[in-house]
Amino acid sequence: MTSMDAPLEPLLGAKTAKALETALGIGTVGDLLYHFPRRYAERGELTRIAGLETDEHATVLAQVDRVTRRTMRSRRGTILEVRITDGQRTLNCTFFNQAWRERELLPGRRGLFAGKVTSYRGALQLANPEYQLIGVPEAGGADGDEQAAAEEFAAALIPVYPAAQGLPSWSIARCVRQVLDVWEGSEDALPADLRRRHHLLGFEEAIRRIHRPADHRELAIARKRLKWDEALAVQLALVRRRQLVEERPAPPCPPVPDGLLAAFDERLPFTLTAGQREVGDAVAQDIAARHPMNRLVQGEVGSGKTVVALRAMLQAVDAGRQAAMLAPTEVLAAQHARSLAELLGDLAAAGELGAPEHATRLTLLTGSLPAAKRRQALLDAVSGAAGIVVGTHALIQDRVRFADLGLLVVDEQHRFGVEQRDALRSRDDGGTSPHLLVMTATPIPRTVAMTVYGDLEVSALRELPSGRSPISTSVVPVAEKPSWLDRAWQRVREEVAAGHQVYVVCPRIGEDGAGGTGGKRGRDAEEDLDELAPPDEGGGARRPPVAVLDVAPRLADGPLEGLRIGVLHGRLPAEEKDTVMRDFAAGELDVLVATTVVEVGVNVPNATVMVILDADRFGVSQLHQLRGRVGRGSAPGLCLLVSETPSGTSTMQRLESVASTTDGFELARLDLELRREGDILGVSQSGRRSTLRLLSLISDEDLIAEARGEAERLVGEDPHLTRHPGLARLVAAMVDDERAEYLQKT
Q: For residues 87 and 46, what is the distance between their CA atoms, to the nearest angstrom?
A: 8
Which residues have C-beta within 8 Å of that of residue 354, sequence separation ≥ 6? 346
Q: For residues 65 and 168, what is the distance between their CA atoms, to the nearest angstrom?
A: 22
Residue 466 in contact with ligand ADP, rule: CB under 6 A = yes
- Using CB under 6 A, pick the residue from 30, 213, 280, 299 that binds ligand ADP: 299
Q: For residues 105 and 108, what is the distance between their CA atoms, to the nearest angstrom?
A: 9
Residue 440 in contact with ligand ADP, rule: CB under 6 A = no
Q: What angle do CA 451, 455, 459 make, to 5 degrees?
A: 90
Residue 169 in contact with ligand ADP, rule: CB under 6 A = no
Smallest gap from residue 602 Cβ to Mg ion (A): 11
Which helix H or strand E contains 607, and what residues bound it? strand 607-612
Smallest gap from residue 299 Cβ to ligand ADP (A): 5
Smallest gap from residue 408 Cβ to Mg ion (A): 16
Secondary structure of 2-31 in HEC code, one letter for each residue: CCCCCECHHHHCHHHHHHHHHHHCCCEHHH
Which of Mg ion, ligand ADP, none lies near 603, with the C-beta cut-off 5 to 8 A by kind?
ligand ADP
Smallest gap from residue 309 Cβ to ligand ADP (A): 8
Smallest gap from residue 466 Cβ to ligand ADP (A): 5
Q: Which stretch binds ligand ADP (CB under 6 A): 266-274, 315-323, 560-568, 730-738?
A: 266-274
Residue 305 in contact with ligand ADP, rule: CB under 6 A = yes
Which one, of 74, 113, 120, 119, lies nearest residue 95 by Cα?
A: 113
Which of Mg ion, ligand ADP, none lies near 270, with the C-beta cut-off 5 to 8 A by kind?
ligand ADP
Distances (CA, A) of 174 to 46, 146, 158, 584, 693: 22, 11, 12, 68, 21
- How many of the chain's residues bind ligand ADP (CB under 6 A)? 16
Which residues 305-324 are close enough to bind Mg ion by CB under 5 A?
A: 306
Q: Mutual orientation of helices 169-182 and 203-211 as an angle, nearest 10°?
A: 150
- Using CB under 6 A, pick the residue from 356, 465, 633, 678 that binds ligand ADP: 465
Q: Which stretch binds ligand ADP (CB under 6 A): 222-230, 300-308, 553-561, 689-697?
A: 300-308
Which of residues 316 and 344 has its CB atom nearest to ligand ADP in the complex?
A: 344
Of the chain, the end-to-end C-alpha distance in Å amounts to 40
Q: Which stretch binds ligand ADP (CB under 6 A): 303-311, 525-533, 675-683, 718-726?
A: 303-311
Strands (E), 404-547: 405-411, 435-440, 457-461, 471-477, 501-505
Q: For residues 577 and 602, what is the distance between their CA atoms, to the nearest angstrom?
A: 12
Which residues have C-beta within 8 Å of that of residue 685, sequence separation ≥ 6? 162, 678
Which of Mg ion, ligand ADP, none lies near 466, with the C-beta cut-off 5 to 8 A by kind?
ligand ADP
What DSSP designation does 744 have?
T
Q: Which stretch binds ligand ADP (CB under 6 A): 27-35, 202-210, 265-273, 428-436?
A: 265-273
Q: What angle do CA 664, 665, 668 make, to 5 degrees?
A: 85
Which residues 615-674 are close enough to bind Mg ion by CB under 5 A?
A: none
Strands 405-411, 435-440: parallel, antiparallel or unpaired by DSSP? Answer: parallel
Beta carbons of 665 and 621 less than 8 angstroms apart? no
Which of Mg ion, ligand ADP, none lies near 299, with the C-beta cut-off 5 to 8 A by kind?
ligand ADP
Smallest gap from residue 741 Cβ to Mg ion (A): 29
Q: Which stretch binds ligand ADP (CB under 6 A): 100-108, 301-309, 479-487, 590-598?
A: 301-309
Which residues have C-beta within 8 Å of that of residue 101, sequence separation ≥ 6? 80, 82, 95
What residues pair up with 391 in beta bridges, in sequence order? Answer: 326, 365
Which of residues 268 and 497 has its CB atom nearest to ligand ADP in the complex?
A: 268
Which one, of 157, 175, 135, lies nearest residue 26 by Cα?
A: 175
Q: What are phi and psi of 450, to 5 degrees?
A: -80, -15
- Using CB under 6 A, pick the residue from 304, 387, 434, 515 that binds ligand ADP: 304
Q: Which stretch binds ligand ADP (CB under 6 A): 143-151, 296-304, 567-575, 726-734?
A: 296-304
Q: For residues 247 and 286, what is the distance between their CA atoms, to the nearest angstrom?
A: 14
Distances (CA, A) of 573 to 369, 513, 517, 518: 11, 12, 7, 7
Residue 279 in contact with ligand ADP, rule: CB under 6 A = no
Which residues 350-409 are close enough to bind ligand ADP by CB under 6 A?
A: none
Residue 302 in contact with ligand ADP, rule: CB under 6 A = yes
Residue 441 in contact with ligand ADP, rule: CB under 6 A = yes
Which helix H or strand E contains 84, and what residues bound it? strand 78-85
Please list the alpha-helical segments (H only) found in 319-370: 330-344
Which of residues 466 and 660 has its CB atom nearest to ligand ADP in the complex?
A: 466
Strand order in the sheet with 294-299: 362-365, 388-392, 322-327, 405-411, 435-440, 294-299, 457-461
Which of residues 46 and 272 has its CB atom nearest to ligand ADP in the complex?
A: 272
Which of residues 130 and 531 has its CB atom nearest to Mg ion in the complex?
A: 531
Which of residues 603 and 660 has its CB atom nearest to Mg ion in the complex?
A: 603
Which of Mg ion, ligand ADP, none lies near 259, with the C-beta cut-off 5 to 8 A by kind?
none
Which residues 287-306 are close enough to bind Mg ion by CB under 5 A?
A: 306
- Using CB under 6 A, pick the residue from 306, 363, 366, 657 that binds ligand ADP: 306
Which of residues 189 and 594 has its CB atom nearest to ligand ADP in the complex?
A: 594
- Using CB under 6 A, pick the residue from 270, 423, 539, 702 that binds ligand ADP: 270
Q: What are phi and psi of 403, to 5 degrees?
A: -70, -45
Which of Mg ion, ligand ADP, none lies near 360, with the C-beta cut-off 5 to 8 A by kind?
none
- Using CB under 6 A, pick the residue from 307, 365, 386, 592 that binds ligand ADP: 307
Q: For residues 411 and 438, what is the distance between their CA atoms, to the nearest angstrom?
A: 6
Which of residues 396 and 409 has its CB atom nearest to Mg ion in the complex?
A: 409
Binding mask 582-621 for ligand ADP (x = CB under 6 A): ---------------------x------------------
Smallest gap from residue 600 Cβ to Mg ion (A): 6
Which of residues 336 and 724 has its CB atom nearest to ligand ADP in the complex?
A: 336
User: Which spans of this chain sit near ligand ADP (rule: CB under 6 A)?
Assistant: 270, 272-273, 276, 299, 301-307, 441, 465-466, 603
* Chain residues in the site for Mg ion (CB under 5 A): 306
